């Protein structure tokens, strides 16, 4: 009887995971039918995961509206350079295909491209870098949807990460049902980014402490809420000539003991501020809440910080909306993956020019959802855990029945 109760509890527990979003925002109604760009302000993007996959458009009938994501920038690829593939391994047990590539001259890398087979499969790629093949730094995770237009091979572009100069790169490619992915070649492009448009990210609190003894100034920048930052600018009140070294870093975060790889940090680098230019630092969708600047003044007087501004690339959802209809955004759930709509195959067919609409105030949803919205989503770790416990209990039950039968003989 205890076994039955335990199994019932496990089934109830595993079915308790639903596609519930934490927030929603009603969209402004549109005046005519057609495709619209729905602007995602920082107040919304700050509540999304790094790939912005946990967001949906819901119509008045509580049904999803297909969309594609677009960013206000244009990337042009030019000459490409091959990487030497040092290693290819398929780890069936761990569920990924691993390749290692070599960057012997430690060139500045902002993108990595792979030609692979299996275009119809969804893929997740984890990218890491190292200079000694012992200490690895996680750089970014990338998600790719199936491309049914390709029949043999497909090019996967990993482009949304900052400049790195590692000698070695490791890529782990995950696919459904642990299918092996054949990597045909790896390379990187010389790229140029044009038509970049940013939106400002709040107004951070700024505090400055000067140490004449150590000849440094420490500037604390606090956004109060984690925000995705693509660019930081710094303005100083001083009108005199200056050229000084600056270190930028984030507060140390407690690391989990199980994490074996150190995380690549965009905000652990040196740069210089100067009176002869706009002082800015390029990031790549890096989530920041608080950071520090250490300015080395040497024998000069401390500079006085005037302002620090954060900027984020403009992100949009592109969808077909009907005039006078009510739509809303629902978002905020780290366990939700990217939606798969047919619209993604027709990106090039959408109008070049679209009207824009905006979300209204953000509201926290809470725990209530309708029965139609509930979709059982069991995380793999929980599913495996439940399966192992169930197998163990069934084995124990079978053994107990076997012993009872043996006694009765």
- Name the average pLDDT for the chain: 83
Q: For 129-139, write each residue's pLDDT tens digit.
A: 999 998 899 88
- Of 213-222, 276-285, 380-389, the poorest mean pLDDT is in 380-389
Q: Which residues of 106-139 are buried (b: 16+ CB within 10 A; e: fewer)?
A: eeebbbbbbebbbbebebbbbbbbbeeeeebbbb
Residue position matching structure tokens 């402004």? 28
Q: 49 in helix, strand or coil? A: coil
Q: Do domains 74-194 and 198-311 have the same CATH topology?
A: yes
Contacts of 297 (CB under 8 A, 6+ apart): 210, 215, 216, 217, 244, 303
Q: Which pLDDT does position 405 carry in this prediction?
A: 59
**What is the architecture, at CATH level 2, of domain 198-311?**
Sandwich (2.60)
User: Which among 133-137, 293-297, 385-389 has the top mean pLDDT?
Assistant: 293-297
User: From start to end of 314-351, where are the E strands?
Assistant: 315-321, 328-331
Q: How many CB atoms lie within 10 A of CB 319?
A: 21
Tell me which DSSP letter residue 302 carries.
Answer: P
How many residues are recorded in the chain?
Answer: 409
* Mean pLDDT along residues 271-275: 91
Q: Which pLDDT does position 340 carry in this prediction?
A: 86
Q: Which DSSP string do the residues of 12-43 spell out, in sequence order?
A: HHHTT-B---SEEEEEPPPSSSEEEEEEE-HH
Q: What is the pTM of this model?
A: 0.71
Q: How far is CA 74 from CA 35, 111, 270, in A?
A: 20, 15, 28
Q: For 145-170, write each residue's pLDDT tens digit.
A: 776 665 678 889 888 787 889 999 99
Query: Which has more confidence, 262 or 118?
Result: 118
- Domain 74-194 belongs in CATH node 3.20.20.300: no
Closest alpha carbon to 164 in 268, 49, 89, 80: 268
Torsional sign, CA 378, 92, 88, 263: positive
| 179/120 Cα distance (integer angstroms) | 12
For the chain, the structural domain boundaries read 1-17+378-409, 22-73+315-364, 74-194, 198-311
Is the pLDDT confidence value at 217 over 90? yes
């Amino acid at each position: 009887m205890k076994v039955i109760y335990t199994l019932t509890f496990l089934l109830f527990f595993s079915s308790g995971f639903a596609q519930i979003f934490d927030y929603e925002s009603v969209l402004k109604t549109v005046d005519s039918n057609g495709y619209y760009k729905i602007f995602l302000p920082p107040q919304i993007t700050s509540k999304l995961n790094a790939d912005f996959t946990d967001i949906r458009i819901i119509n008045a009938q509580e049904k999803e509206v297909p969309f594609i994501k677009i960013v206000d920038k244009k990337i042009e690829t030019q000459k490409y350079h091959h990487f030497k593939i040092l290693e290819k391994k398929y780890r069936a047990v761990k569920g990924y295909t691993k390749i290692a590539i070599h960057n012997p001259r430690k060139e500045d890398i902002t993108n990595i491209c792979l030609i692979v087979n299996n275009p119809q499969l969804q893929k997740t790629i984890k990218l890491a870098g190292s200079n000694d093949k012992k200490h690895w730094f996680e750089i970014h995770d990338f998600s790719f949807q199936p491309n049914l237009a390709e029949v043999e091979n497909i090019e996967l572009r990993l482009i949304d990460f900052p400049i790195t100069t590692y000698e070695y790169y490791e890529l782990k490619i995950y696919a459904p049902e642990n299918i092996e992915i054949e990597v045909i070649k790896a390379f990187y492009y010389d790229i140029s980014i044009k038509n970049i448009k940013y939106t400002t990210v709040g107004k951070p609190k700024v505090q400055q402490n000067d140490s004449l003894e150590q000849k440094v100034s420490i500037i604390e920048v606090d956004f109060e809420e984690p925000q995705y930052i693509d660019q930081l600018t710094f303005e100083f009140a001083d009108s005199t000539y200056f050229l000084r070294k600056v270190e930028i870093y984030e507060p140390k975060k407690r690391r989990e003991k199980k994490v074996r790889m150190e995380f690549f940090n965009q905000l652990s680098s040196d740069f210089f501020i100067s009176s002869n230019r706009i002082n800015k630092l390029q990031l790549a969708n890096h989530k920041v809440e608080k950071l520090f600047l250490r300015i080395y003044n040497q024998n000069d007087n401390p500079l006085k910080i005037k302002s620090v501004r954060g900027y984020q690339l403009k992100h949009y959802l592109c969808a077909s909306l009907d005039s006078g209809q009510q739509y809303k955004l629902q978002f905020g759930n780290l366990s939700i993956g990217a939606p798969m709509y047919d619209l993604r195959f027709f990106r090039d067919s959408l109008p070049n020019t679209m009207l824009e609409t905006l979300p209204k105030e953000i509201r926290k949803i809470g725990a209530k959802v309708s029965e139609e919205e509930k979709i059982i989503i069991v995380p793999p770790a929980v599913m495996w855990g439940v399966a192992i416990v169930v197998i163990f209990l069934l084995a124990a039950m079978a053994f107990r029945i076997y012993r009872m039968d043996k006694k009765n003989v």
